[in-house]
């Protein structure tokens, strides 16, 4: 499926007319598809290459080294999470992946835990910190455009994501060594957060579920990032903007010996943000569908559902 393409430069540097065109296309795409491809997204290609190179180096480390970076009390929100720990909501089978998460830096506003420092790879944390900042900035522009589409104050999301609980996740789907009993690389799911920005992937496999209940492969250009709506934004907009179901399938059997790497950025707000449905998104046609929760309460609930928190 060739998902809609938007040009972020139109919003950042365009005329009033171009900005409106961008807002309308982005909002319409999030309403009806849930995914877009973004070009001119502002994340340097050299940084992306370095990020993937460092990610591959990390997952090539011996298991005993990787496990030393797994911090149980952080529930996978920082550092390494070993193979088979996470599963999709409602699925008993673990996903066929391991991952490393880098989060928002500690600050005076939000007492986030420190990021796990990887000693074996030169420049690891510096690269992740730079990438985190670039993703966050691009996500800021996209959510600013969404606030325009929803006729919200221009700073509606700004104050909620400035020190948000966002996560940069490096994922490794290892070679498949035996017939999987009931798992694919990532079972069907919806993301928890506001929006997800996915830069590149080392192999195909990402699919989204269409309105016709068909699984369609997602195709985008290497110079674009794929952005999708998460459950928090869907909840906030009372299902106006769609959190589309997606999955990562296993490769053909003759490619089971290969790895797949993927690096999504999960853009979260601060924990105190209310996810109560916006009044402007509630009507007789679209009655309120969700109870009032904060982002922190919802995240806690979902981490338990996917097996990262007891």
In degrees, rounded to 5, the angle at the alpha carbon of residue 280 between the alpha carbons of residues 160 and 282 is 115
Q: Is residue 162 part of a domain?
A: yes
Flag whether pLDDT at 44 surpasses 60. Answer: yes
Burial letters 148-158, b for 16+ CB under 10 A, else e: bbbeeeeebbe
Flag whether pLDDT at 28 surpasses 60. Answer: yes
Q: How many domains is the chain partitioned into structurally? A: 1
The structure tokens listed for 244 are 């589309």
Q: Is residue 273 part of a domain?
A: yes
Q: Is residue 245 part of a domain?
A: yes
Q: Given pLDDT bands bounded at 50, 70 and 90, which one contains residue 106?
A: confident
Q: Is residue 250 part of a domain?
A: yes
Give yes or no for a contact between 51 and 125, defined as CB atoms under 8 angstroms apart.
Answer: no
Between strands 215-217 and 206-209, the pairing is antiparallel
- Mean model confidence pLDDT for the chain: 90
Using DSSP, state whether 13 is helix, strand or coil.
helix
Q: Is residue 310 part of a domain?
A: no
Check residue 201 and give its pLDDT.
64
Distance CA 167, CA 152 (A): 25
CATH of the domain at 50: 2.60.120.330
């Amino acid at each position: 499926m060739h998902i809609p393409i938007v040009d972020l430069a139109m919003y950042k540097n365009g005329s009033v007319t171009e900005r409106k065109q961008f807002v309308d296309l982005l909002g319409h795409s999030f309403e009806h598809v849930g995914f877009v491809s973004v070009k001119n997204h502002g994340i340097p290609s050299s940084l992306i290459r370095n990020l993937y190179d460092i990610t591959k180096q990390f997952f090539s480390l011996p298991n005993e080294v990787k496990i030393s970076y797994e911090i149980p009390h952080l529930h996978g929100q920082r550092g390494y999470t070993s193979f088979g720990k996470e599963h999709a909501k409602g699925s008993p089978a673990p996903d066929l992946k391991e991952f490393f998460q880098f989060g928002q830096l500690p600050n005076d506003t939000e007492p986030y835990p420190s990021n796990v420092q990887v000693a074996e790879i030169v420049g690891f944390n510096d690269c992740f910190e730079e990438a985190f900042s670039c993703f966050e900035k691009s996500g800021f522009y996209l959510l600013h455009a969404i606030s325009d589409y929803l006729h919200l104050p221009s700073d509606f999301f700004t104050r909620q994501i400035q020190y948000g609980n966002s996560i940069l996740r490096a994922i490794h789907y290892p070679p498949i060594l035996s017939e999987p009993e009931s798992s694919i690389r990532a079972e069907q799911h919806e993301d928890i957060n506001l929006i997800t920005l996915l830069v590149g992937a080392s192999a195909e496999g990402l699919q989204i579920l269409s309105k016709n209940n068909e699984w369609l492969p997602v195709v985008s250009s290497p110079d674009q990032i794929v952005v999708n709506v998460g459950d928090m934004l869907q909840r906030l907009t009372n299902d106006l903007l769609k959190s589309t179901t997606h999955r990562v399938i296993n490769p053909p059997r003759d490619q089971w010996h290969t790895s797949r790497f993927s690096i999504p950025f999960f853009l979260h707000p601060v924990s105190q943000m209310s996810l109560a449905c916006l009044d402007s998104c509630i009507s007789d046609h679209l009655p309120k569908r969700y109870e009032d929760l904060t982002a922190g309460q919802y995240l806690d609930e979902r981490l338990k559902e996917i097996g990262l928190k007891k």
